[in-house]
Amino acid sequence: MKSTINQAPGGKASSAPLMGSAAEPTLFELSVPGRSAYQLRTTGVPEMPLESLIPASLLRESDVDIAEVSERDLVAHFTRLSHRQFSVDLGFYPLGSCTMKYNPKFCDEVANMVGLVDVHPATPASLSQGWIELLVELEADLCEITGMAAVTLQPAAGAAGELTGLLLMSAYHRARGDRRKRILIPDSAHGTNPASVTLGGYEVTTIPSDERGLVDVAAVKAALDTDVAGIMLTNPNTVGLFEEEIAEIAAAVHDVGGLLYYDGANLNAILGVVRPGDMGFDIMHMNVHKTFATPHGGGGPGAGPVAVSQRLVEYLPGPKPVRLEDGNYGYETPPHSIGRMHSWHGNAMVLARTLAYIKVHGGDGLRRVAERAVLNANWLRKRIEGDYPPAYDRVCMHEVVVSAGAIKRETGAKALDIAKALLEEGFHAPTVYFPLIVDEALMFEPTETESLQTLEALAQSLEKIAAKAISDPGSLALAPQSTPVRRVDEARAARQLIPTFDAR
């Protein structure tokens, strides 16, 4: 195929960049007519016209303009681009509510064992006993950690787990002849909660937060009647605070025949300390790609197992991996199963990493994960409160929400500007404008894997940015300037799907 675009003046291709060059050309700029990344030996097979092999109606009238580069230049181009990527192995992700922590390589090694990766998911149970045993053991461990009766491992991520939970809730009520319509959701909830409620066929009733950042218990009780199918909560909540009246909320919801759904996004904060099942929850999903290792944030797959109390076991998706009466392992489908939620057993390699993470930590290690995550968040809260006051000035759990409202009023710099400026300091941006109930919100989740030195460096960078907002008003609106990609207009990117490029 020929290439005639993006060549340098005079018909010569642009030269390859030097090592460490800031400007990386496109493949078309590296292109030289006639150059290719492969060569085929002379085989002696005669050439045949495409028309003799492919119907003429399916052939293009002209060649496709593609880049023509050598294998060496092709590999070098993509390797240089890969070095510009930010990852959990390179730096700190303080994204709140996302639990973007470093993942131990031990878990990857276990999941890459030949005995696991070389087994096709359609392998008969008699020839895949090890895999099925692994899944059965993982379910038992997750039940112990959460205080629940049974688990389905099928859902592929947290949102898929939420939908599964809502369908289980619906099946439970239908079996009792109940046609309930509403689900209660706090005004600080994750955005997937109302979306899952809608997909599950329910209507959303929003519950306000009180002045302490917790669910308003009086508002919950006022909204409860026999039309309510349940309530969706996470504890700690999305403001990073523990819902202290959770037992009272659970009793009130159960009194009207409703169920409690636990959004497991914040499970990292309570491992080994308190269990959702003991709080009164009936259904919960776990983002195991966040809490129990696996490459969250690296573009890899997730997994969102759903755990249930005893009253919902018979509705779980099937078939489920189980230990049979004869001691072997196989599959069973619950009597009133809602059916499959994913092919095979979900993202099994993520589940293998999860079990490895649980085993290598043990119960005492998982508790230390939660304790150190909470300690890191509270240290950061106190360290930066002079420039970034916490939304609620009290002990938080694994994440802290601060407000940049004062900085905006004094300098015009917004939470988004501060997050963009942080990229130039070598940190990933935190979560911004969430929860929606906090003015100019910045949400930080340090996680247990970050050292005191890393947190201090983050705090100093935040102080530097706050000082710059005061000394040079308006400068943060241009940040970042030194990153491979400069300031991006997220709103425009969402509204204008076909990009136009700035030649700067």
pLDDT in tens, 444-479: 999 999 999 999 999 999 999 999 999 998 999 999
Both 331 and 374 in one domain: the answer is no
The one-character DSSP state at 18 is P
Domain contains 226: yes
Both 352 and 490 in one domain: the answer is no
CATH number reported for the structural domain that contains residue 229 in this entry: 3.40.640.10
CA distance 143 to 308: 9
The one-character DSSP state at 346 is B
pLDDT above 60 (res 17): no
Give me the domain span that covers residue 180. Answer: 105-119+131-361
CA distance 375 to 390: 16
Cis? peptide before 301, omega within 30° of 0: no
Both 207 and 279 in one domain: the answer is yes
Give the domain-ending residue among 292, 327, 361: 361
The pLDDT value given to residue 44: 82
Residue 385's identity, in one-letter code, is: E
Q: What is the 3-state secondary structure (H, E, C) of 362-421?
A: HHHHHHHHHHHHHHHHHHHHHHHCCCCCECCCCCCCCCEEEECHHHHHHHCCCHHHHHHH
How far from the centroid of its chain's Cα atoms is residue 321's Cα? 26
pLDDT, mean of residues 222-243:
97
CA distance 67 to 70: 10
CA distance 456 to 449: 14
Helix (H) or strand (E) holding 468: helix 452-471
Closest alpha carbon to 173 in 204, 143, 202, 207: 202
Both 335 and 416 in one domain: the answer is no
Domain contains 277: yes
CA distance 302 to 121: 17
CA distance 65 to 88: 37
Both 295 and 166 in one domain: the answer is yes
The answer for 262, left when phi > 0, alpha when psi is -120 to 50, beta otherwise, is beta
CA distance 499 to 383: 41
What is the number of domains present in the chain?
A: 3
**Are the C-beta atoms of 397 and 242 separated by less than 8 Å?**
yes
397 burial type by CB count under 10 A (0-12 exposed, 13-18 middle, 19+ buried): buried
Both 170 and 218 in one domain: the answer is yes
pLDDT, mean of residues 383-400:
97
The pLDDT value given to residue 19: 42
CA distance 220 to 253: 8
Residue 143's pLDDT band (cuts 50, 70, 90): very high
Select the more confidently predicted residue: 411 or 12: 411
Q: What radius of gyration, in Å, describes the C-alpha atoms of the chain?
A: 27
Helix (H) or strand (E) holding 186: strand 182-186
CA distance 412 to 415: 10
The pLDDT value given to residue 16: 47
Give the domain-ending residue among 361, 386, 408: 361
CA distance 383 to 446: 13
Domain contains 97: no
The pLDDT value given to residue 40: 77
Domain contains 99: no
pLDDT in tens, 95-129: 998 899 988 899 999 999 999 999 999 999 999 99
The pLDDT value given to residue 22: 60
pLDDT above 50 (res 3): no
The pLDDT value given to residue 221: 98
Domain contains 66: yes
Both 484 and 374 in one domain: the answer is yes
Q: Hey, is 385 helix, strand or coil?
A: coil
Both 75 and 136 in one domain: the answer is no
Both 209 and 62 in one domain: the answer is no
pTM: predicted TM-score of the whole model, two decimal places: 0.87
Domain contains 255: yes
Q: What is the 3-state secondary structure (H, E, C) of 269-321?
A: HCCCCCCHHHHCCCEEEECHHHHCCCCCCCCCCCCCCEEECHHHHHHCCCCEE
386 burial type by CB count under 10 A (0-12 exposed, 13-18 middle, 19+ buried): exposed
pLDDT above 50 (res 232): yes
pLDDT, mean of residues 343-355:
92
| 13-22 LR contacts (CB < 8 Å, sep 24+) | 16/73, 16/76, 17/80, 22/484
> Which alpha helices (H) appear in 156-191, and where do they start and end?
158-175
Alpha carbon distance, N-terminus to C-terminus of the chain: 30
Both 352 and 375 in one domain: the answer is no
How far from the centroid of its chain's Cα atoms is residue 231's Cα? 22
Closest alpha carbon to 256 in 163, 346, 183, 327: 183
Give the domain-ending residue among 302, 332, 361: 361
Both 153 and 291 in one domain: the answer is yes
CATH number reported for the structural domain that contains residue 422 in this entry: 3.90.1150.10
Domain contains 502: no
**Are the C-beta atoms of 297 and 87 separated by less than 8 Å?**
yes
**Are the C-beta atoms of 24 and 81 separated by less than 8 Å?**
yes
**Are the C-beta atoms of 77 and 24 separated by less than 8 Å?**
yes
Both 356 and 411 in one domain: the answer is no
Closest alpha carbon to 183 in 219, 246, 232: 232
Domain contains 125: no
pLDDT above 60 (res 8): no
